């Protein structure tokens, strides 16, 4: 406990010395008695005391979408569902990329003076397109998470526990808890990492070591898996590979950035772009990413202070306004314009009442969603926050978004059928004993637009 406390104290000191103020309260040590008051869900014999600290959380898919919208607001040309299939070269120099339009078909050439390859767990694959041996390798590490209802774990704080291999987090997530994560090598389908029965059992077994009332499979609303891009070293265990990032210039005209994590993505971006501008024969202004807010951040605090007035003006409960502000920031005003134009959009989804009908429409009109699973799995988290995995919401959402996307009745039925198959395939994968069988089961439901 005191060893961990020294590490957290260092974080506190770094936050104060950063020049941005303390921001969050400093950590504190809790006795066993006080820790059990904060988290009565814990077995008394599972702890001698605790360390309480403050942290931030984010929705990774929404964060990426918001970051892309921010880039677009500064003039970036954004291509949704576009895949690089090759590089253009003049001699030794890379001068562009060949890009496939996965959604609409066709292939295009995009030329640029510098190309930045930031393809995460696909780094080795994209490096291979150059025909050169990469300067480093990236391995994919799979992490899975369970989502359970809030009432299954009685605590006013999230939890972090040590396991024999790593650490386990129990993170508050709206009306749910997220329990995770695992850290295992993954060399199968990168687009759809699958959670196996063994993965789920691992998390349940370890979290139940400290819970007075154990969790069962029946408590699990949702399961999801993701991949970390780790810089490969000599170790066979992904838990020992580097979480840091690196930038390389393998051939003229091409910069590769790999590794890293969300916490440091702006540093990664600065390092990659700084490397890229070295190849330009002109002076470029210094990076300002540290001071550039994402869209939705500007004016957020003022709207938060005005949330009761916004609720009165729109007829929505103040808790709904808080939900929207937490998800969209000051862009909430855009979403509320949809409700003003069509008050029925201010109603909650019948089988996923954490979300308004307007949120499904907004995902397509403002956030680039093109398909039903985009809305249910990425723009919202209905696919992991409901016991039916979003299956009961599929028809309602498909019919809501059809006008915005220009779908006819046949496309609506196709989207619903595809989503139901996806849910069935994910459930089947989670019944399989290992990665190989889980991967095969998940691939039983192909993408509606093949990636």
pLDDT tens-place string over residues 65-94: 999 999 999 999 999 999 999 999 999 999
Q: Chain-centre distance of CA 267, in angstroms?
A: 18
Mean pLDDT of 267-278: 94
Per-residue confidence at 19, pLDDT binned at 50, 70, 90?
low
Mean pLDDT within 141-164: 94
Average pLDDT over the chain reads 92
Give the pLDDT confidence of 310-331 residue by residue, as tens digits. Answer: 999 999 999 999 999 999 999 9
Question: What share of the chain has pLDDT > 70, as a percent?
Answer: 93
Torsion angle of the four alpha carbons 21, 25, 28, 31, in this order, in degrees rounded to the nearest 10: 180
Per the CB < 8 A criterion, the answer to whether 221 and 427 are in contact is no
pLDDT tens, position by position, 359-378:
999 999 999 999 999 999 99
Judge whether residue 144 has pLDDT over 80.
yes
Task: Dump pLDDT digits (tens) for 250-259.
Answer: 999 999 999 9
pLDDT digits (tens, 9 = 90+) for 183-201: 999 999 999 999 999 999 9
pLDDT digits (tens, 9 = 90+) for 289-317: 999 999 999 999 999 999 999 999 999 99
Comparing 355 with 47, the larger pLDDT belongs to 355
Q: Please report the pLDDT score of residue 338 as a whole number.
A: 98
Residue 14: pLDDT over 80? no
Cα distance between residue 225 and residue 340, in whole Å: 37
> The tokens 């003006």 sit on which residue?
313
254-259 and 115-117 strand pairing: parallel
Q: From CA 340, how far away is CA 334, in angstroms rounded? A: 10
Judge whether residue 450 has pLDDT over 80: no
pLDDT for 451 equals 54
pLDDT range class, residue 235, cuts 50, 70, 90:
very low
**What is the CATH architecture of 300-442?**
Orthogonal Bundle (1.10)
Beta strand 28-31 with 49-52: parallel, antiparallel or unpaired? antiparallel
Question: Of 246, 226, 240, whose CA–CA distance to 377 is shortest?
Answer: 226
SS3 (DSSP) at 179:
strand
Whether 421 has a pLDDT exceeding 80, the answer reads yes
Average pLDDT score over residue span 411-429:
98
Tokens read off for 394? 């599929």
What is the pLDDT, as a whole number, of residue 242? 57
Q: Is the model's pLDDT at 226 over the cut of 90?
A: yes
Question: Mean pLDDT over residues 165-185, rounded?
Answer: 93
| Beta-bridge partners for 97 | 87, 110
In this prediction, residues 220-236 reach a mean pLDDT of 84
Whether residue 142 contacts residue 193, with contact meaning beta carbons closer than 8 Å, is answered with yes
Q: Dump pLDDT digits (tens) for 52-67.
A: 888 889 999 999 999 9
Q: Does pLDDT of 234 surpass 60?
A: no
- Is the Cβ–Cβ distance between 397 and 418 less than 8 Å? no
Is domain 61-137+239-291 annotated with CATH 3.40.50.720? no
Predicted local confidence at residue 218, as pLDDT = 98
Residue 241 has pLDDT above 50, yes or no: no
pLDDT value of residue 135: 77
Grouping H, G, I as helix, E, B as strand and the rest as coil, residue 198 is helix
With 60 as the cut, is the pLDDT of residue 161 above it? yes
Residue range 440-449, pLDDT digits in tens: 999 999 888 7
Q: What is the pLDDT of residue 238?
A: 45
Within the chain, all domains assigned CATH 3.50.50.60 are found at 61-137+239-291
Strand order of the sheet with strand 93-101? 82-90, 93-101, 107-111
Identify the band that residue 165 occupies on the pLDDT scale cut at 50, 70 and 90: confident
Residue 109 is given by DSSP the state E
Which of residues 30 and 15 earns the better pLDDT score?
30
Whether 396 has a pLDDT exceeding 80, the answer reads yes
């Amino acid at each position: 406990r005191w060893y961990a406390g020294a590490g957290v104290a260092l974080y506190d000191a770094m936050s104060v010395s950063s020049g941005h103020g303390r921001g969050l309260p400093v950590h504190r040590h809790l006795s066993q008695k006080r820790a059990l008051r904060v988290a009565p869900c814990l077995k008394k014999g599972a702890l001698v005391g605790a360390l309480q600290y403050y942290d931030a959380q984010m929705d990774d898919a929404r964060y990426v979408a918001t970051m892309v919208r921010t880039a677009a607001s500064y003039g970036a040309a954004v291509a949704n569902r576009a895949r690089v299939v090759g590089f253009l070269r003049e001699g030794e120099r890379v001068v562009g990329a060949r890009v496939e339009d996965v959604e609409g078909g066709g292939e295009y050439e995009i030329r640029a003076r510098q190309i930045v390859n930031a393809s995460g767990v696909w780094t080795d694959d994209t490096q291979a397109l150059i025909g050169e041996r990469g300067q480093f390798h990236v391995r994919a590490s799979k992490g899975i998470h369970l989502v359970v209802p809030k009432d299954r774990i009685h605590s006013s704080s999230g939890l972090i526990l040590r396991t024999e291999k790593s650490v386990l987090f129990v993170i508050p997530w709206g009306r749910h808890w997220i329990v995770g994560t695992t850290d295992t090598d993954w060399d199968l389908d990168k687009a759809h990492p699958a959670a196996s029965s063994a993965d789920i059992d691992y998390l349940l077994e370890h979290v139940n070591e400290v819970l007075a009332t154990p969790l069962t499979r029946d408590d699990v609303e949702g399961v999801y898996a993701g991949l970390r891009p780790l810089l490969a070293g000599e170790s066979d265990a992904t838990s020992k590979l580097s979480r840091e990032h690196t930038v390389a210039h393998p051939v003229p005209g091409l910069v590769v950035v790999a590794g890293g994590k969300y916490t440091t993505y702006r540093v990664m971006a600065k390092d990659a772009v700084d490397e890229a501008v070295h190849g330009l024969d002109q002076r470029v202004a210094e990076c300002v990413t540290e001071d550039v807010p994402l869209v939705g951040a500007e004016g957020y605090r003022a709207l938060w202070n005005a949330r009761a007035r916004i609720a009165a003006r729109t007829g929505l409960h103040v808790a709904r306004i808080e939900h929207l502000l937490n998800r969209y920031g000051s862009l909430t005003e855009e979403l509320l314009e949809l409700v003003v134009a069509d008050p029925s959009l201010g109603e909650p989804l019948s089988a996923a009442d954490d979300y308004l009908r307007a949120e499904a429409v907004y995902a397509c009109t403002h956030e680039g969603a093109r398909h039903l699973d985009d809305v249910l799995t990425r723009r919202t988290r209905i696919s992991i926050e409901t016991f039916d995995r979003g299956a009961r919401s599929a028809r309602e959402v498909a019919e809501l978004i059809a006008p915005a996307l220009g779908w006819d009745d046949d496309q609506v039925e196709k989207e619903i059928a595809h989503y139901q198959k996806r849910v069935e395939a994910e459930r089947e994968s989670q019944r399989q004993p290992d990665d190989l069988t889980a991967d095969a089961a998940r691939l039983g439901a192909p993408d509606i637009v093949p990636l």
